[in-house]
Structure 1
């Protein structure tokens, strides 16, 4: 048994370090000074930001990319409430983050201490677990338990409050147990058998791989299952790149043909939400594979719904010994549709229009992004084009806000990605609307030597709202921004670099300079405000 001594900050950080936590994202506040002291003594990197939401988004990026807890430390009151959008994003995205909140002292509770408020009623609805620890002696064990809760499927954020006297006080002889193993749950074997039998017997099966395939470290198992059963694979979220784009079973452009013609669709590791028409695929039977029973859809009745460790479920799919129908004609049909769609895209990717079309931006980015680049989406219409035209070559290289759709994730995600991968390309794709939420945190990137490339699609409008509102009412309101703003000058003023691009022929050179710069560099692309993403999803 290892015994440790220290103040509440020492014990809290030691508990989280046992799970691999190696950095702390924060905005300075006196309520949490002992946590900074602990980090300094332990050599844990402190990354400080200009708005608490960026700290939580950075922790979320680390949690998703590294599949272990990300840590954000928020001071009391407004520090915590500023982080609520980040907590909610992590909840929707199944990201195992730990958020530590400072709290006014309990011994003076009710007297009006600075920023005295009970955070728990605010955060409970957007966390897996929220608690206040009232004894320094309990900090280590209870924070280990909280981190384990965050990591246990279905993963998600936890919040722990540390009152002032708890985090500043000391405790002696605390048992510093090793981090407990994350429990693994096995799905009902009958449900697994039913699911794989449906897929094997189907004439036109399809797999949709979602973020939990990556988070659950099941990418290799999914590939083995797809290859064994010969099933076409589409992906969303961090499932993108599960199969490389050149894999014969990887598809991205033929969704309409696939979802309209399939007889069995297996949705694996992602909810049956608005992105997937709420699980309504016409006459196709739906198999919904989730990492925990809590993720089973309640608004539909799938033909099979195994819930448990995705690696085990997919390994069982791969070792299926029953008869498998001939899927080759179906694969060939989808490949024809895929190739036809790609051929039609060529003109858009090379469009020489003035103003610049968003598609041309992605045509140029495809030429310069490395296979292991981490691409981050933070925006509406502009980032929708990224989802359409960029195909990650590897799993775990795509970050977007997910189904919660919260703008402002970009700079926080960029921090987490750069710290995770010091030498890779990190590229943030941002609408000009999204830039208003977090661009000030470029200063945090500059000050802490975290170079990234930021490409802003600057059309001077809220495109996701302006065009639909016009179609609905014949007019639009509250949907305009100042056209032609120099977001690159903002980045320069904050210590980075950048340039504005007005002509499509200038994109290639600007992107090359951006990736070679070694500092936060913003390429401000003036894009066509009349260009509207052809959206077809039903939001409600």
Structure 2
């Protein structure tokens, strides 16, 4: 995952400089929507022979989500290229999503020519200020001879912990002009974690009676999946996974406590959170308190000091290479006998919850219970399947009932909660995991954001199975508004909209399912089809995911 900076000589127009450096950093696909400001980048990608795949989409946001998806799946920055002005502004939500997810990616934007700046040129806009708050770096490369170094810095910055998006725009005249440059720089060294900090976390684990380990996305993105599994099994304590941490312990693992999350986090006396922020998904770090238990101590471990929580003072913190931190904790901690008894209690609760799931996963109700879809999907998912969630209420059920067997194989919008990621992530998954099943779960609300990019899947021959939980409402909004006001507005969609026919009109396949017994056969037809295929399932609008807060 760590690539040294580019070293060597580059000649040609500015686009050639950018593409050569991006290729050096592992970018083999340029996700884009055509625009004249960035034509030299396309020219460099296809001449004198194809050096980089061009994959054009129907909305710039999809290009950014695809680049972010590549970053999530490969742990190397993906590349999106958009034209100036609205091309860049259309991309902002995707960049913000990558920022909150800590996903490495580089967005190169076109920019009005520098030589005539200020004359009211087409799409003349100073773009970096729009992206400064949601990127690790946002800048303009001024001059053809500055492009290669700027792109090199962009990829190195995006790929360095803590990972995230970088934005670079390049004036049109600089991209078209010719130059020759020579680059050479030493790769920066990543500081080792502080041994004293690691020991402090290990000491807390050794003292705790009811410890819990939480593993988040950055464990995967930092390449620490082997260390995480080894350390969890060495400590023998309950483990909860979230985001791309799902699958670090395969579904069914004896330590996996996701199905007993309420008990584990509610009665813990210590929660060690690794590779994820203490945000709303984790109660902002307030654990314990269940059944009269005191609040738990918290240890926060991050891939870099800037990711350590600032809204509370944990009992211990550690930052740095997550493999080193986790292995250090595993080597030093000596859990108490009570911790083993606690693990058995949580494991029993998780097993009981899983047993109880069987009834709802086989629910034969009409209208269809959303959980029945996951009961059928789990029967046909392969071990290496990539599962993508793009939705609110429907995808909440997926988070409960689907347990990935491998790390890095679950993608969702993350804490920013931006719908519309599905098609971009689908493109990224099919390219990054060409032999794996790719399943994209869409709420009917989310389908409205990006379904036109099924055209992209069809044109580029990227088969993906799409499953739409179609309940005809904005599920995350309708029920809370009813609870607050006793009525709801702006929360209705058309029941049983034929999203499957949209997919078929764009060249894919699909069908509407209204009978629960028809879900399994429809899924099998979808996987066998070899084309982008929509299984559009009409679900019960009154069956909403139970949640204690309005946070997702």
TM-score bucket (shorter structure): over 0.9
Shift of 1:200: 2.0
Q: In the alignment, which residue of structure 2 is the partner of 1:9?
A: 15
Q: In the alignment, which residue of structure 2 is the partner of 1:77?
A: 85
**1:287 corresponds to which of 276, 284, 299:** 299
Shift of 1:185: 2.5
Is residue 153–residue 291 contact of structure 1 (8 Å, CA) maintained in 2?
Answer: yes
**1:205 corresponds to which of 191, 206, 211:** 211
Give the secondary structure class of the aligned counterpart of 1:254: helix
Q: Deviations over 1:249-285 (max 9, x none)?
A: 1221111111122111101000000000000013210
Is residue 202–residue 325 contact of structure 1 (8 Å, CA) maintained in 2?
Answer: no
Shift of 1:228: 1.6
**1:357 corresponds to which of 369, 389, 395:** 369
Q: Deviations over 1:76-101 (max 9, x none)?
A: 00000000000000000001100000
Residue 44 to residue 390, structure 1, CA distance change in 2 (3 Å): same
Shift of 1:471: 1.1
Q: Counterparts of 1:102 and 1:404 in 2: how far apart (Å)?
A: 26
Q: In the alignment, which residue of structure 2 is the partner of 1:142?
A: 150
Q: In the alignment, which residue of structure 2 is the partner of 1:221?
A: 227
Residue 321 to residue 404, structure 1, CA distance change in 2 (3 Å): closer
Shift of 1:321: 6.3
**1:175 corresponds to which of 179, 182, 188:** 182
Q: In the alignment, which residue of structure 2 is the partner of 1:413?
A: 425
Shift of 1:225: 1.2
Q: In the alignment, which residue of structure 1 is the partner of 2:510?
A: 498
Q: In the alignment, which residue of structure 1 is the partner of 2:438?
A: 426
Is residue 366–residue 516 contact of structure 2 (8 Å, CA) maintained in 1?
Answer: yes
Segments of 5+ residues of structure 1 without an aligned counterpart are: none
**2:355 corresponds to which of 315, 338, 343:** 343
Give the secondary structure class of the aligned counterpart of 2:541: coil
* TM-score normalised by the chain length of structure 2: 0.96
Give the secondary structure class of the aligned counterpart of 1:281: coil
Q: In the alignment, which residue of structure 2 is the partner of 1:512?
A: 524
Is residue 439–residue 467 contact of structure 2 (8 Å, CA) maintained in 1?
Answer: yes
Q: Counterparts of 1:257 and 1:58 in 2: how far apart (Å)?
A: 37
**1:299 corresponds to which of 311, 319, 339:** 311
Q: Counterparts of 1:359 and 1:234 in 2: how far apart (Å)?
A: 21
Q: Deviations over 1:61-88 (max 9, x none)?
A: 0001000010000100000000000000
**Range with bigger deviation, 197-206 or 316-325:** 316-325
Q: Counterparts of 2:337 and 2:168 in 1: how far apart (Å)?
A: 52
CA RMSD of aligned residues (A): 1.3
Tell me which stretches of 4 or more aligned residues in structure 1 moved more than 4 Å. Answer: 321-326
Q: Counterparts of 2:368 and 2:315 in 1: how far apart (Å)?
A: 46
* TM-score normalised by the chain length of structure 1: 0.98
Give the secondary structure class of the aligned counterpart of 1:300: coil
**Range with bigger deviation, 55-64 or 339-348:** 339-348
Q: In the alignment, which residue of structure 1 is the partner of 2:62?
A: 54
Q: In the alignment, which residue of structure 2 is the partner of 1:403?
A: 415
Q: In the alignment, which residue of structure 1 is the partner of 2:292?
A: none
Q: In the alignment, which residue of structure 2 is the partner of 1:391?
A: 403
Q: In the alignment, which residue of structure 2 is the partner of 1:110?
A: 118
Shift of 1:215: 0.2
Is residue 446–residue 496 contact of structure 1 (8 Å, CA) maintained in 2?
Answer: yes
Q: Counterparts of 2:335 and 2:115 in 1: how far apart (Å)?
A: 69
Segments of 5+ residues of structure 2 without an aligned counterpart are: 1-6, 289-294
Q: In the alignment, which residue of structure 2 is the partner of 1:315?
A: 327
Is residue 256–residue 347 contact of structure 2 (8 Å, CA) maintained in 1?
Answer: no
**Range with bigger deviation, 106-115 or 395-404:** 106-115
Q: In the alignment, which residue of structure 1 is the partner of 2:174?
A: 166
Q: In the alignment, which residue of structure 2 is the partner of 1:444?
A: 456
**1:37 corresponds to which of 21, 40, 43:** 43
Q: Counterparts of 1:23 and 1:405 in 2: how far apart (Å)?
A: 26
Q: Counterparts of 1:166 and 1:97 in 2: how far apart (Å)?
A: 22
Q: Deviations over 1:229-266 (max 9, x none)?
A: 21211100000000112322122111111112211110
Q: Counterparts of 2:26 and 2:414 in 1: how far apart (Å)?
A: 25
Is residue 220–residue 408 contact of structure 2 (8 Å, CA) maintained in 1?
Answer: yes
Q: How many residues align?
A: 538
Is residue 199–residue 264 contact of structure 1 (8 Å, CA) maintained in 2?
Answer: yes
Q: What are the within-5 Å matches in structure 2 for residues 224-303 of structure 1?
A: 224-282=230-288, 283-303=295-315
Is residue 277–residue 537 contact of structure 1 (8 Å, CA) maintained in 2?
Answer: no
Q: Counterparts of 1:483 and 1:539 in 2: how far apart (Å)?
A: 25
Shift of 1:6: 1.1
Q: Counterparts of 1:31 and 1:11 in 2: how far apart (Å)?
A: 16
Shift of 1:189: 1.8
Residue 95 to residue 183, structure 1, CA distance change in 2 (3 Å): farther
Q: Counterparts of 2:271 and 2:32 in 1: how far apart (Å)?
A: 43
Residue 422 to residue 321, structure 1, CA distance change in 2 (3 Å): closer
**1:93 corresponds to which of 77, 87, 101:** 101
Is residue 373–residue 425 contact of structure 1 (8 Å, CA) maintained in 2?
Answer: yes
Give the secondary structure class of the aligned counterpart of 1:161: strand
Shift of 1:141: 1.4
**Range with bigger deviation, 530-539 or 288-297:** 530-539
Q: Deviations over 1:492-539 (max 9, x none)?
A: 000001000000000011000000111000000000000010012463
User: Does 2:465 match 1:465?
Assistant: no
